[in-house]
A and B are shown apart, each in its own frame.
Chain A
Amino acid sequence: MKILVPVKRVVDYNIKVLVKSDGTGVETAGLKMSMNPFDEIAVEEAVRLREKGSATEVIAVSIGVQQAQDTLRTAMAMGADRSILVLSEESPEPLAVAKVLKAIVEKEKPDLVFLGKQAIDDDMNATGQMLAGLLGWGQGTFASKVEIVDGRAEVTREVDGGTETVSLSVPAIVTADLRLNEPRYASLPNIMKAKKKPLETIQATDLGVDMTRRLTTVSVAEPPTRKAGIKVGSVAELVEKLRNEAKVI
């Protein structure tokens, strides 16, 4: 079983982003970039499936600028066997990404595509579902547990009010949720070894995919700053304030 893991290069989750002074987006120039945390979880799960013998090969793919190869090196340091960089402009839209992934899937013929449930930059939560639609494959989204049983993927999903388990015939799409696993560190020896693993680079345009932007950002604003809280002396005072000042009860 072959697993394809798309990994996105995003602003590191430790960085507090700032809205550009003209309100057209957030400032990303010169910020530390890392692999989307949900994609780390997807890579980890794919590598564990290979280590358990359920999968034979893990291929990481990233669509974006040249520097996305650092993200792919990280995926390989975590255990992916090889990777593919599809060069395009920075942060393409989910539909374009799904179309590129479809082309890669047709070339590589994986049995599972393992994505993160969402990327922490745009929080779209769309790429996996769109890819499933384009390919006409089954999908197990928000996975908190994945098992390969008799050639089928059993995916436990986090849904409102509990979990749901679906059994998917392969090929299929799985998207990883936060509690699926705790990804390993890319250790220094593995980072050194990852430098020697194969990384193929192709142009998005060579895949015949239309990357035109369809979405328009109207405006981006910072959340309103919260006012400082106060300490109340007693329950009576709290009730009084809720009633007369906040007027919520």
Chain B
Amino acid sequence: MSEREAMEFDVVIVGGGPAGLAAAIRLRQLNPEANVCLIEKGSEIGAHIVSGAVIEPRALEELFPDWLERGAPLKTPVTEEEMYFLTEKKGFRIPALDRVMPHLANHGNYVVSLGDVCRWLAEQAEALGVEIYPGFAGAEVLIEKNRVVGVATGDMGITRDGEKGPNYQPGMELRAKYTLFAEGCRGSLTKQVMEHYNLRKGVDPQTYGLGIKEVWEIPAENHRPGLVVHSFGWPLDDKTYGGAWLYHFGENLVSYGFVTGLDYENTWLSPFDEMQRTKLHPVFRKHFEGGRRLIYGARALSEGGLQSIPRLTFPGGALLGDSAGFLNTPKIKGTHTAMKSGMLAAEAVIDAMKADRVEPAAYTSLVRQSWLYDELKSARNVRPAFARWGSKLGALYAGFDAMVLRGKAPWTLHFKHADNETLKPASLCTPIAYPKPDNKITFDKLSSVFLSNTNHEEDQPVHLKVRNMGLWKTVNWDVFRSPESRYCPAAVYEAVDTDTEARLVINSQNCVHCKTCDIKDPTQNIDWCTPEGAGGPNYPAGM
């Protein structure tokens, strides 16, 4: 331990997504003297970012009123919008979208690559003097006298058996007065901090979705920049929450993807195959004809909303963005809320620093007074309505909530189950027959993972830690028939020797860091840990 080097900062931020970067920028805007260090596990900023993304510029506007002059990559304003309820053969377009589903009205918003937006934010942050270190994951929370005093990066050059290899380099302690966790959905250090300080006491369990995304390049004559399409209904059954998105943006690019609510019940369901087969529906298919697929990726998102937000601060730090669960689920937007939460946390930290307070507790009250809270409050009943009553009635409730109650219902619907508790045994579920890939519009998993550019140094301990392999056999295999081999979008998990003595093979090099296994494993038997620095996907520009 003592061989680790240490460095002192005023603030250390873990994670270079919109939340962490906005916090870093705000800190330096408020106090140009503060020394702020940000680490990011991706090989560069943006390398691990997966988002839709249609974003609301509201928080960006507050952070940099001159964002346009500064050249922020928000280049495609939303121009047309379509929302469909799908049956197997048909798509019914929802009329008067802005009244029935005002959450989804996107006037004034932009279609972006969130990775590109983050790269741009990082340039702004560096120009303001933030020290940014990509390629280093926060692997350990440093807690002393019950105060978080920073994080440590992982050791490098540890071999697969846990020995020090020839290239061994110890990790480094990044010590700080305040540590901000901005790891996005299901942060691995955030999980430890929540547990240590019991931050989830008295709030609903978090519920998640898994988003799987492709970026396509399509013929110019079919490109309608600013077109935004969403769907719900087919191919999911009524009990399963989710749907597809398709956005035209940039230079002949299309962002397409599918979100599956991770509270799904049917163990045979494969989110990857749902994403693939939805492309074949007449509503979507025409957008892909003649195009080529460029990028593939996946990421979980927090869908719980207001009811699931934990206590935000603890001695020595705070939780930001999707790490806390600030996503607005009916809008499927978390970028503006993540940025806003980062900015508010920065204000609270500067305040606490002045008064030498251990906990930046003002953050919570700043959130309560801001539009961020109002927005999540009015959206709070939509997702639980879907969880309770299914897609059709849920959608009706959402319309009623929007048009009649205007988000001001005197009640709050709650989530009863964590996502790992919802799977039904294989014997009680109907298997799903997915079509074979045609290699033109639909593809298999391995050729998809290839397009995420993911890589992990081979000779390192497996970063997906199964706590108890015996449990895998008796629960995951015997009862659920290895759901991880279906929900993992990167073909990491493989059940082999299924005719004799079934066992689990973990191809950890393929992992794209979506965090689904950490969420959905029925007995929470899998821990996603940070791999060696810079491991994971390398999403290029446009993702």
Which residues of chain A are near B133, meaning CB under 8 Å? 188, 191-192
User: When the two chains form their complex, are residues B451 and A16 in contact, meaning their CB atoms are under 8 A apart?
Assistant: yes
Sorting the interface of chain A by its residue count into under 10, 10 to 19, 20 to 34 or 35 or more gives 10 to 19
The answer, among B136, B453, B455, for a CB contact under 8 Å with A188, is: B136
Contact yes or no, A182 B167, CB < 8 A: yes
With contacts A14-B455, A16-B453, A18-B294 taken as known, whether A32 is within 8 angstroms of B43 at the C-beta atoms is yes
CB closest chain-B residue, reference A18: B294
B540's partner among A21, A32, A182, A185 (CB-CB below 8 A) is A32
A residues 171-198 near B (Cβ < 8 Å) are 182, 184-185, 187-189, 191-192
A10-43 residues at the B interface, CB under 8 angstroms = 12, 14-16, 18, 21, 29-32
Which residues of chain A come closer than 8 Å to B541, judged between CB atoms? Answer: 29-31
Central interface residue in A29, A32, A185, A188, by most chain B CB within 10 Å: A188
Contact yes or no, B43 A185, CB < 8 A: no
List A contacts of B451 (CB < 8 A).
16
Report A242 CB to chain B, min CB distance, Å. Answer: 26
A185–B172 contact, CB under 8 A? no
Given contacts A14-B538, A16-B451, A189-B172, 16 further A-B contacts (CB under 8 A): A15-B453, A29-B541, A30-B116, A30-B540, A30-B541, A32-B44, A32-B538, A182-B166, A184-B167, A185-B156, A185-B157, A185-B167, A185-B533, A187-B169, A188-B172, A191-B133
A185 touches B169 (CB 8 A): yes
How far, in Å, is A185 (CB) from chain B's closest CB? 5
Q: Is B217 an interface residue (CB 8 A)?
A: yes
Given known pairs A14-B455, A15-B540, the reply for A187 and B167 (CB within 8 Å) is no
Q: Is chain A's binding surface mostly helix, strand, loop or mixed?
A: loop
Instruction: State the Cβ distance, B362 to closest chain A Cβ, in Å.
Output: 31
Interface residues of chain A, those whose CB is within 8 Å of chain B, are 12, 14-16, 18, 21, 29-32, 182, 184-185, 187-189, 191-192
Given the complex of chains A and B, what is the CA–CA distance between A29 and B44 in angstroms? 15
In the assembled complex, the Cα of A16 lies from the Cα of B538 at a distance in Å of 10
Tell me the nearest residue of chain A to B166, going by C-beta.
A182
Q: Looking across the interface, which residue of chain A has its beta carbon closest to that of B217?
A: A21
What are 13 residue pairs bridging A and B, where the CB atoms are less than 8 Å apart in the complex? Answer: A12-B538, A14-B453, A14-B454, A16-B451, A31-B540, A32-B43, A32-B538, A182-B167, A185-B156, A187-B156, A187-B172, A188-B171, A189-B172
* Complex alpha-carbon distance, A15 and B47, angstroms: 11
Residues of A within 8 A of B540 (CB): 15, 30-32
A30 to B116: give the CA distance in the assembly, Å: 9
Chain B residues, CB < 8 A from A14: 43, 453-455, 538
In the complex, which of the residues A21, A184, A185 has the most CB atoms of chain B within 10 Å of its own CB atom?
A185
Question: Does chain A have a CB within 8 A of B542?
Answer: yes
Return the CB mask of B131-158 against A: 1 if under 8 Å, else 0.
Answer: 1010010000000000000000100110
Report B's interface with A, CB cutoff 8 A: 5, 7, 43-44, 47, 116, 131, 133, 136, 153, 156-157, 166-167, 169-172, 217, 294, 450-451, 453-455, 533, 538, 540-542
Which chain B residue shows the least CB distance to A74?
B135
Question: Cβ of B171: which chain A residues have Cβ within 8 Å of it?
Answer: 188
CB nearest neighbor in B for A30: B541
Residue of B nearest to A183 (CB): B167
- Name the A residues within 8 Å of B47 (CB-CB): 32
Q: Which chain A residues lie closer than 8 Å to B170 at the CB level?
A: 187
- Tell me, in angstroms, the Cα distance from A32 to B533 when the chains sit together: 15
A87 to B158, CA, bound (A): 38
In the complex, how many angstroms separate the beta carbon of B454 from the nearest chain A beta carbon? 8
Residue of B nearest to A189 (CB): B5
A residues within 8 A CB of B172?
A: 187-189
Chain A residues, CB < 8 A from B455: 14
In the complex, how many angstroms separate the beta carbon of B509 from the nearest chain A beta carbon? Answer: 11
Residues of B close to A21: CB separation below 8 A: 217
Find the A residue at minimum CB distance from B542: A30
CB of A188 within 8 A of CB of B167, answer no
Complex: chain B residue closest to A225, CB-CB: B439
A182 vs B538: C-alpha distance when bound (angstroms) = 23
State A38–B450 Cα separation when bound (angstroms): 24
- Chain B, residue nearest A21 (CB): B217
A31, closest chain B residue (CB): B540
In the complex, A110 Cα to B533 Cα: how many Å?
A: 34
Taken together as a complex, chains A and B put the C-alpha atoms of A187 and B173 apart, in Å, by 12
A15 to B44, alpha carbons, bound, how many Å?
13
Smallest Cβ distance from A181 to chain B, in angstroms? 10
User: Chain A residues near B116 (CB, 8 Å)?
Assistant: 30
CA distance A225 to B533 in the complex (A): 33
Q: Which residues of B contact A15 (CB under 8 A)?
A: 453, 538, 540
Distance (Å) between the CB of B288 and the closest chain A CB?
16
B431 CB to closest chain A CB, in angstroms?
Answer: 25
Smallest beta-carbon distance A196→chain B, Å: 12
With A and B bound together, what is the CA distance between A187 and B217 in angstroms?
A: 38
The answer to whether A16 and B43 touch across the interface, beta carbons within 8 angstroms, is no
B533's closest neighbor in chain A, by CB? A185
Residues of A contacting B533 in the complex (Cβ-Cβ under 8 angstroms):
185
CB-defined contacts of A187 to chain B, threshold 8 Å: 156, 169-170, 172
A29 CA to B169 CA, complexed, in Å: 32
Closest residue of B by beta carbon distance from A29: B541
Q: For A189, give its contact among B7, B44, B131, B294 (CB under 8 Å).
A: B7
User: How many angstroms between the C-alpha atoms of A14 and B455 in the bound complex?
Assistant: 7
CA distance A192 to B169 in the complex (A): 15
**How far is A111 from B43 in the complex, measured between Cα atoms in Å?**
35
- Chain B residue nearest in CB terms to A70: B44
Query: Nearest Cβ distance between residue B157 and chain A, in whole angstroms?
Result: 7
- The docked-state distance in angstroms from the alpha carbon of A20 to that of B330 is 38
